[in-house]
Structure 1
């Protein structure tokens, strides 16, 4: 009776347990790829028709490089199917060779068992013949003469025999050499065919990922299941064609994308999107650097000695001492705080050159470069600081209610309830986090709203900007975004844009094989207004360069990337947009040399005088400009003037011509002149340098 009771329980359990069906492995198709800056999101799809119940859907032959933590399965048939779980594993399959080794085996057998022994036999036979005939030629001359004298043999018979033997030995030697070469060739063929056979018979393996998705099918109708994952070794880079129209003062900006992937799987005839989510060689005149004149000091002479930096801080407007300012020596742990009299002192410094940074809550921060510290030099410095535009003296009144923004709350909170989690198509905590808005992962960690430990991000007018020390100057001029009729997307290209990303969808399917070659696709064309200037920095290059100040008047940003530069139909070189260009932001691009303007820099009136205690050096820099064009040219000329931070080096300027110029804090002088057609102009910079004759001075041209 007890036996039948157990059988009944077992049958009940089997009847109530869900039946799990296994769907055979399927090489799913790639339906869509979104390419980011350093990775890609691949979407695969499987369509099935199965009976209601629990099923295992297997996505096989997936690339080994995929990032497992980014796997996500979902469906658009939520009423007909539910995703219950997801697992993955690494599969190793033996690669079967399609080469038949039987021909090679037969050839090897012929070479080893037939040809090689046959050649060896020939060699042995000819070697024996040579040894036999050589016995006759080795007979001594005395013995031959004795046989001829005694009449045993006559001379003619011996001569004929000797010639016959010699001729045959020569033929035998030729045969031996021939069969030696043939045997060597045969053995080389045997070695080569053995290597080929070994390669064919060598077992090779292919490693791939396989993903098993457990689903609950509710209705007997076709359903579609999608699998997403991130793959590394995929990227796209913006490439621009910038074509300057000199007559219309416009630049035609064509955006293209170089898409490259080495993921291990080919993307064949798939829909492609490119997204900015994972946010040189110049033909221009280059940037000038300040021209510093100073003495050369061998600090090794002061080993074991110390110096100090002392000075005072004053308000630039009131001349009152500044109390409580922080004076730090950059890249060191040394510093001081100014006292009530504005004085500060930093002691115990090794002789050398230091950079100071002075900060105060109410004053603008200043940095002082190249402060020389010597044991015998303790002359105090004086620094004057400008007050910040916005002070902190205003009174703030707070009423008895909470602010809309809690100023004491340093983080945002996102609460996911049990009900919300149950509705998410996820199986792990990692997958759940990626469902939260603003949270992304690249396989190595999570990032909140794009933040990285090595980046400084900020948002201006709703546009996310990342500052990365651009090599092309970006003017911090942002206006209210406006719509533009100039922007033209390629036919079939769609655009998604929000404050954090721009995504282009290429509705024409593309094929991008895995490898090192990039595929270039056309995205858009934009006509941007510009102002073309002529600029010269003759100390660097004696040429006048075109510089276009361009305004991005569209509501789309420009991404950092390579720019191929054209003037009308002529290609002139390449430049780089090094940073994000926001809508309505101004930026600069060089457009090569303007050969209609000649410029020549020279040094004249050079004189060096040696006194009892000092050295005096005088010279004049002349910059000659000639306008060979038929129109007025507005020319910007920049030249570094010599400056010094050394108290013992004195620099005096004469009458600089033209006297109407702008002098920047770093010593760069700028002239803006209108040069008439076929006219010449000259800039003259006379100056004198005086320094003690017991010091060495660097920087003198």
Structure 2
């Protein structure tokens, strides 16, 4: 058995035509896309074919490739009893329509050029007549020295000038008539050329592989190349059957492409890699400590700064032509209606989940993020995906302000979102179907999902959902509520060891059984050891907050005022099983040493002195109510304005 030659070539030095082209036998080879690996921005395309390689030297021509391909980055591999001598490329233009009318268009254009030249000649004659008119007008004095006006000469001159001016007028009218006729002829020629079918052409790249074989042989050839106008965004479907079951998380890739070639029944892989991203290690800058006197807001600002720290170290990347991502605050909540802009381009506004997408014009080097009440950020355009956290604008208040929401006494009867669905579970089980298998390959810098199915994705930019994998994730389910801001109790799923799940920040659609609960976001760059997912409010859990104590008095001796407030929070569980719920509220904070805030009673709650947040962890049995009370006081000089809940 004869050995084969495998030559991977990077086309580093290409010429338009090979030196030995006249000696080679050119053979056009049919080829098709076999495999596509889609990255967050960009795609690696692989084409394969099996062909007969002629004996001697030959040129295998691979036609019909998009001109967006960079020929210097095409990687060629081949197997068989032949040798690849060199690789070159050329561009081929096909006439799609209008070729038969080209000769007529050229004839009409020659006629039009001649007619336009004649019009210019007539314009020159107009100029000559104007000069003669000026000459006549400058000779109007007919006198004889010492004898006055010569009447005979005056009469002759007047007759001559009258006759000549009549002739000039008639010549001008004739020129106007000829120019008008020519202009009409030009219009007809333009209409005739416009009525001809337009000449439409299409240019393709052709890769030319020059081979040498001792005898005719069969060989397999493949070549890969990079295309920029493709990519994918992560999305997830989170499904909860019941709080006793694991969380089912479906990972989806939203794939789109506008590479100029359709992907017809190709093997598809999705990679978390970012080849366009800067690969250089950032260097540390000197770190100076500054005192922080802004309490919770300062902590939030530090959290947001930490989230953006890596992005701010990245240099400008001129290859990025479009940026997308998500804006959120320091707590990971999406910022709705924030403004994202680039110099020389249009501005966009984030959607209800904080997502944005913006095109980057040439020479734009940075991107600006702004939202009301937040510190604006201006960051180098370094990556195709840029998720940014905005810190709250720090303000030092001169007074302590507390505000609350009144809770209506009326209750609206609504069916529980988490009621029994046994018959629908059975129906779903009967209608269940299988997805394509997915093989996961991990490297130190990326994870690749090879999908065992053929996909067809047109080059039209339309997003196509590609399922990556399903996961059953152990989660701790509990309720959380902040009745000062919202009377609803939200079901939360807390996931441990989420780093092992190969997740990326993206959109999250939440379902409970067959019901679509809502859409949220997976902000992993703010997640800690525990990943928390909000599954939406449960109307079967009622939380109320009511002001029970209100006392304001002034000490006559010290001149200080003391304001006391007492609040009651109740939780009603209308479900058929016990629930665990985390309630949080807050005490005011003071930035004035003369204003003292004291926790009188917390009802078993835990106080964070830095933020003023108080947290209660309750177990509420089915059909029962649990209540708690907390009380605080504020002491301040009489002249210091203090406003609390009334």
TM-score (structure 2 length as normaliser): 0.54
Q: Report if the CA contact (8 A) 1:649-1:690 is conserved.
A: yes
Superposition map of 1:157-556 within 5 A? 198=194, 201-246=197-242, 248-278=244-274, 328=288, 355=292, 369=298, 490-551=435-496, 556=501
After superposition, the C-alpha distances for 1:384-406 in whole angstroms (9 at most, x for unaligned) are: xxxxxxxxxxxxxxxxxxxxxxx
Q: Report if the CA contact (8 A) 1:99-1:200 is conserved.
A: no
2:74 to 45, 54, 71: 71
**Partners of 1:239 and 1:673 in 2: CA distance:** 34
**Partners of 1:55 and 1:86 in 2: CA distance:** 12
After superposition, the C-alpha distances for 1:128-177 in whole angstroms (9 at most, x for unaligned) are: xxxxxxxxxxxxxxxxxxxxxxxxxxxxxxxxxxxxxxxxxxxxxxxxxx
Q: Report if the CA contact (8 A) 1:55-1:214 is conserved.
A: yes
How far has the Cα of 1:100 moved from its partner?
9.3
How far has the Cα of 1:278 moved from its partner?
2.4
How far has the Cα of 1:42 moved from its partner?
0.7
1:57 to 52, 55, 60: 60
Farther off after superposition, 533-542 or 199-208: 199-208
**Partners of 1:329 and 1:581 in 2: CA distance:** 23
Aligned residues: 409
**Partners of 2:497 and 2:77 in 1: CA distance:** 40
How far has the Cα of 1:625 moved from its partner?
1.7
For 2:82, the equivalent position in structure 1 comes to 81
How far has the Cα of 1:225 moved from its partner?
1.9
Q: Report if the CA contact (8 A) 1:489-1:523 is conserved.
A: no
Superposition map of 1:616-627 within 5 A? 617-627=563-573
2:620 to 659, 665, 675: 675
Alpha-carbon distance change, 667 to 660 in structure 1, aligned in 2, over 3 angstroms: closer
How far has the Cα of 1:698 moved from its partner?
8.8
**Larger Rg over CA atoms:** 1
Alpha-carbon distance change, 42 to 690 in structure 1, aligned in 2, over 3 angstroms: same
Report SS of the residue matched to 1:517.
Answer: coil
Q: Report if the CA contact (8 A) 2:498-2:531 is conserved.
A: no
After superposition, the C-alpha distances for 1:327-383 in whole angstroms (9 at most, x for unaligned) are: 9465xxxxxxxxxxxxxxxxxxxxxxx7479xxxxxxxx99949xxxxxxxxxxxxx
For 1:44, the equivalent position in structure 2 comes to 47
**Partners of 1:205 and 1:542 in 2: CA distance:** 65
How far has the Cα of 1:626 moved from its partner?
1.7
Unaligned 5+ residue runs, structure 2?
1-19, 103-186, 276-285, 300-379, 391-432
Alpha-carbon distance change, 221 to 699 in structure 1, aligned in 2, over 3 angstroms: farther
Report SS of the residue matched to 1:198.
Answer: helix
Greater relative CO, 1 or 2 (CA 8 Å, sep 6+)? 1
For 1:601, the equivalent position in structure 2 comes to 545
Q: Give the alignment's Cα RMSD to 1 decimal.
A: 4.5
Farther off after superposition, 28-37 or 617-626: 617-626
TM-score (structure 1 length as normaliser): 0.50
Alpha-carbon distance change, 496 to 24 in structure 1, aligned in 2, over 3 angstroms: same
How far has the Cα of 1:545 moved from its partner?
0.8
Q: Does 1:629 align with 2:625?
A: no
For 1:563, the equivalent position in structure 2 comes to 508
Q: Report if the CA contact (8 A) 1:18-1:53 is conserved.
A: no
Alpha-carbon distance change, 268 to 99 in structure 1, aligned in 2, over 3 angstroms: farther
Unaligned 5+ residue runs, structure 1?
1-16, 102-190, 280-325, 331-353, 358-365, 371-452, 457-465, 472-487
**Partners of 1:224 and 1:652 in 2: CA distance:** 81
Alpha-carbon distance change, 100 to 214 in structure 1, aligned in 2, over 3 angstroms: closer
